[in-house]
Amino acid sequence: MLSRYWRFYISLSVVSIVLGILLATQFRTTMEIQKQVGNSSRRYQSLINVLDQARKKQAELTAQVAKLRQELEQNKSGVPETGRAAEVSKEINQIKMLTGELPVQGPGLYIAIDDREATATQVFSGDIKDIINILRYSGAEAIAVNGQRVVSNTAVHEAGRNLLVNKVPINRTQGIPYEILAIGDRDNMESLLKVTYGLLADLQGAGVKINLSKVDRVDIPAYKGGMVFKYGKTGASPGGGG
């Protein structure tokens, strides 16, 4: 009788211990999931804010280009390009560099991203777009991904395990899957990339190799595609109707 009692007691004790371990594990897992969800939400909202700022900046540049072009035409009037006309022409060239119509060079960042040995994840188009938007927000004057200039209508999409940038399969440079170049304030760009809700740290934690370097000279090509406007046009008078 005593032997059966102790067997029952021992079995009950073992079950209680196992149940306690399972409950503790479930609790820790639930807390970790809630923590990750909270971090993801904050990171997502941060990147939405970055994207909004980048879009506003692009809209401002587009309006400035149109205004300067109109002023340039008014000042030329068949006379030599001197005075204000030359100044406006210079401003237009500067904005063309910002909008991708001209190649540009200057100090900036070199970012190499290699996911070939990562076991937990791969780099997706969303990761590249997040990096682009952070660079824009940090004041980057020009950006390129594997030789493709990033402009206002640049799209980044998956194509199997590779990416399309500007609808072009990116060409890998020196065996590195993804290479991003940016011209601008190197310290500011580097700082925002490292602190914006752990974007780079998350990738590195999943086994992705990232080399971020500040360099004295970055050469970024002009945008190779064409700008197609479906609704916009130049020379429209305010309030003009059809």
pTM: 0.63
pLDDT of residue 51: 61
Question: Strand, coil or helix: what is 17?
Answer: helix
Q: What is the pLDDT along the chain (242 residues), one digit of tens a residue?
A: 445 555 545 555 555 555 555 555 555 555 655 555 555 566 556 666 666 666 676 667 667 667 766 666 666 555 555 566 667 677 777 777 777 888 999 999 999 999 888 777 788 888 999 999 999 889 898 999 999 999 888 889 888 767 889 988 886 666 778 999 999 999 999 999 988 778 898 889 888 999 999 999 999 999 987 555 455 454 443 344 44
- The full DSSP string for 166-190 is TTEEPPPBTTBSEEEEEES-HHHHH
In our burial notation (b when 16+ CB lie closer than 10 A, e otherwise), range 169-180 reads ebeeeeeebbbb
Give, for 93, the enclosing helix (H) or strand (E): helix 84-99
Per-residue pLDDT at 239: 42
Judged by DSSP in three states, 239 sits in coil
Cα 71 from Cα 88, distance rounded (Å): 7
DSSP state of 144: E
Res 43: pLDDT: 59
The per-residue pLDDT for 183 is: 95
| Per-residue pLDDT at 235 | 46
